[in-house]
A and B are shown apart, each in its own frame.
Chain A
Amino acid sequence: MSSKPFFFVSSLLLALVYCLLSDPGVQHALYSEKWMIDVHDGKASLEVSLEPSPYLLKIKHAIQKEAGRTVVFNKLPIEPDRRRFKKDIVTDYFYLDAASIEPLRDDTVEVAFQGTAPGDVDIRISNYQIVPNETLSYDVFVMFGKRMNLSGFPATRFALTWALLFAGNLVVFLLLRRKEPGVVSLINRANAPFLIAGALLVLINGVPFIPYSIFVSPFCFLATYLLSFILVLAFLCPREEGIHGL
């Protein structure tokens, strides 16, 4: 197959990946709340109204030696899926599946201590996690549960993105066509790694047995694409010093 039609198609596919991975509806679907609950008589309880979808419950408090603790969610005792210790603070992570959420009723979280109890408990509930962490960036969201097309298919965004990516590829083509003989194939190969990685993420979002979805910010998409494109172009370019002029 000639590489020229693929050069046209690759920008089309990239635009599709962009629209599926970088959905503006994600910002509205994100849920994260934090409470600091005082402990009375060894108990801290919270009532909250949640949508029927999976959540991450995080319970953080000072470590109390020789003290037991139970966590009850909607009257069912739950065990932490992960536990982290930092100095004298313990953080427990509980993954709550959609079935455990009470529809149309307030959900209750109860933390009960046996023996000496800490003064307060930090409770956080969210339906997403930032990757790798919030300090570094707020650009890659792993949302619990399957979520596709949060705001419907954005035809205008898709068309604009495709036009922009195609124009960008065309500019590179025009700049390099005299200096690099196989420029179309080079551009296609430079697009390929990002396209494959993006398609994999879209696939993860689509596969039913993977219980989460991944979304990225437009900045993350653009930065990753540009960096990947430029580096692959430099590494693949047959010249000794990479792309001519660089």
Chain B
Amino acid sequence: MKRYNLYLDYLIPAGLVSFCLFQPFFYHGILDLFEIGVYLPFINEVMRGASLYRDAVIVRGPFEIYLPALLMSVFGRHLSVLHAVFYITNLLTLVGAVMLARTLFKTRLFTYLLIPVVCAHSFTLNYFKNWGGARHACGIASILFFVWFLRTRKRWCLFLSGMLTACGFGFSPEMGLIPCAAVFAAFALSWYVKREDKDARPDALTYLQGFSIIAVPFILHMAFSGALGTYLKTLLIVPRSGRTVYHFEILFPDMPHNPLQALAYLAKPFKPEFMYAFPLLIYIPLSLSFLLRLARKKIGEQDMAVFCATLYALGMYLGAFRQINGPQFLASLPGLFIIFFWVLECAFLRFKKAQLDAPRRSVRFAGLCLYLAIFSVVFINVFKVKNFLDYGFDLERVVFRQISRGAFPSGTEPGKLTARRAQGVIVPDWQAEEINQVVSYIEEHIPQHEPLFCFPDRGVYNFLADRPCWSRFCWMDVASYDQAWTKEFFARLYGQSPRYIVARMEEEVFEPFLKEYPIVQNRRAVREFISKEYDRMASFGSIGIYRIKDVSAHEQ
């Protein structure tokens, strides 16, 4: 069995990943109010004692809310805690990816070469502090522990892999299902290859024990708090939302929506969209080679580990087709690059062998091509990592010298947020002005415990002003996922209208394209209702604050 060096194989690569992604001022910079609005109002509700799904319906896993809520109860209720959760867990995902690579690769060289590539592609400035995070960290860690188990046969690794899969499921169902499918496929393969070996069944049992230790208490908690029904319903509804709620084929007609469509992009190698098809160039030949090895009965432990990691990466890639131009695709790239570099390493080792056996001209030429391929892939990505570090220096200048050049779009000055729960966070001045004014107005004019309806996706104000959500659909678009929820939402809106509404009345860019879809129809109905039944008290930037006209009706 291969022996690993703690420093060279684990600590230094982890340190290099942390260095490449070092961002001490990660909590500053422009805020994506939509993305953080998916979390903050729910965190606020949980901290006010609400039960998720029963009192606040979310379309993501409950751990996505519980983890930042737990950390906020320890470190304080501040916006930067949410960003810290995303930043650190995204960092851990890439550390996990590099550890997994080290376990699969035979040489350290390729692990080190992978670091800039994986950092540059999957850790982008747009998403690193408000998207992904813990769910992907759990997914990759679960595969990592499974691969360690294959190498060491230590059962605690398998147990931990099961636990992490369950945690992944708690964060996002797909991050439980994909590692689980990869692990069970590896078990099935192991059973098929060594039929006389009876180890596979107890192994699967250990994995399931690890899974249960997280899943059973979680299910019991959901059942006793009366949230299990809604949770199960979201598990069924959400996977179809790419067609029933948003319909990405209409919104993004120029991008592939399945692997077959992606194949067409192979003909455009110099376009950025080629990247959508690039995984097929790796996965298809690898699958064929794997089937060939299986037919020849040449499958070993190493192949099993690579098989499991490939299935995980493939699952992530196929899952990304729900919106391939979004961060989902970036999240699938660490897995892809691990497999890609594994293929490059195999080619490199084969070249070395051929070089020693018969140093022919064709071997040298093949070596030169391989050298150029590896050099160019790593070289380009080194600069992307540098850009990311440069952004950190730009943010430092914003913090200490109030110079916004580079960190914000040109011509934008920095501004500080003054709301108690976001105090000190530096954002572009137009954003700071809008948020500060809206929050101060709410704090001055709306009573502390008055429920607030933030329309359509500005739930961030529920958190910043510490006002409870008016309905269990803190993010009203969730009500569009299901007809029964839509009815429930409008029955409450018309029957027990909120006294105050914080609303952004402008149409989103996607709305004209989805006129017939419930999400747009519901938003229009709410806008019409607000225009008819509410008076505008104040407006700040794109946000208006509305009060119901007929207060007596509200009180009844």
Interface residues of A (CB under 8 A from B): 136-137, 139, 219-220, 223-224, 227-228, 230-232, 234-235, 238-243, 245-246
Contacts and interface: CB of A to CB of B under 8 A. Distances in A.
Contacts of B349: 240-241
A86 to B, nearest CB: 14
B152 to A, nearest CB: 21
A4 B351 CA distance: 29
Contacts of A230: 109
A137 B109 contact: no
24 contacts: A136-B380, A136-B383, A137-B386, A139-B386, A219-B386, A223-B382, A227-B375, A227-B382, A228-B375, A234-B109, A234-B348, A235-B348, A235-B367, A235-B370, A235-B371, A238-B356, A240-B352, A240-B353, A241-B106, A241-B107, A241-B352, A242-B348, A243-B109, A246-B109
Q: Identify which of B374, B375, B383 gathers the most chain A CB atoms within 10 Å of its CB.
A: B383
Contacts, number: 55
A227 B379 contact: yes
B356 A240 contact: yes
B60 interface: no
7 closest Cβ contacts across the A-B interface? A137-B383, A246-B109, A246-B108, A240-B352, A223-B382, A241-B107, A246-B107
Interface string B148-183: 000000000000000000000000000000000000
B interface secondary structure, majority = helix
A228 B352 CA distance: 18
A232 B371 CA distance: 8
Q: Identify which of A224, A232, A242, A243 gathers the most chain B CB atoms within 10 Å of its CB.
A: A242
B8 interface: yes
B496 interface: no
A139 B383 contact: yes
A231 B378 CA distance: 11
A139 B351 CA distance: 33
A231 B352 contact: no
Contacts of A242: 107, 109, 348, 352
A231 B345 CA distance: 12
Interface string B94-120: 000000000000111100100000000
Contacts of B371: 231-232, 235
Interface string B64-106: 0000000000000000000000000000000000000000001
Contacts of A235: 348, 351, 367, 370-371
Contacts of B382: 223, 227
Contacts of B379: 223-224, 227
A35 to B, nearest CB: 14
A137 to B, nearest CB: 4
Contacts of A243: 109
Interface residues of B, number: 25
B387 A137 contact: yes
A242 B351 CA distance: 10
Contacts of B8: 245
A136 B352 contact: no
Contacts of A245: 8, 108
A110 B474 CA distance: 57
Interface string B383-399: 11011000000000000
A66 B375 CA distance: 48
A169 B380 CA distance: 25
Contacts of B351: 235
A227 B352 contact: no
A180 B109 CA distance: 17
Contact of A136 (B106, B374, B384): B384
Given A228-B375, A231-B374, A239 B383 contact: no
B107 A227 contact: no
A123 to B, nearest CB: 17
A106 B380 CA distance: 41
Given A136-B380, A223-B383, 6 more contacts: A219-B386, A227-B375, A227-B378, A235-B348, A241-B106, A243-B109
Interface string B197-228: 00000000000000000000000000000000
Contact of A231 (B107, B375, B380): B375
Given A223-B379, A246-B109, A239 B384 contact: no
A80 B384 CA distance: 33
Contacts of A228: 375
Contact of B352 (A139, A220, A232, A239): A239
A243 B348 CA distance: 12
A137 B385 CA distance: 10
Nearest to A132: B380
Interface in B354-413: 356, 367, 370-371, 374-375, 378-380, 382-384, 386-387
A224 B379 CA distance: 7
A72 to B, nearest CB: 30
Interface string B241-281: 00000000000000000000000000000000000000000
A163 to B, nearest CB: 24
A139 B389 CA distance: 14
Nearest to A223: B382
Contacts of A240: 349, 352-353, 356
Contacts of A238: 356
A136 B106 CA distance: 31
A224 B370 CA distance: 17
Nearest to B109: A246
A122 to B, nearest CB: 14
A25 B148 CA distance: 52
Contacts of A234: 109, 348
A240 B350 CA distance: 9
Contacts of A231: 371, 374-375
Contacts of B383: 136-137, 139, 220, 223
A37 to B, nearest CB: 18
Contacts of B375: 227-228, 231
A219 B386 CA distance: 9
A189 B296 CA distance: 41
A224 to B, nearest CB: 7
A205 B344 CA distance: 36
A224 B353 CA distance: 27
A224 B367 CA distance: 19
Nearest to B108: A246
Contacts of B109: 230, 234, 242-243, 246
A245 B384 CA distance: 28
Nearest to B351: A235
Contacts of A224: 379
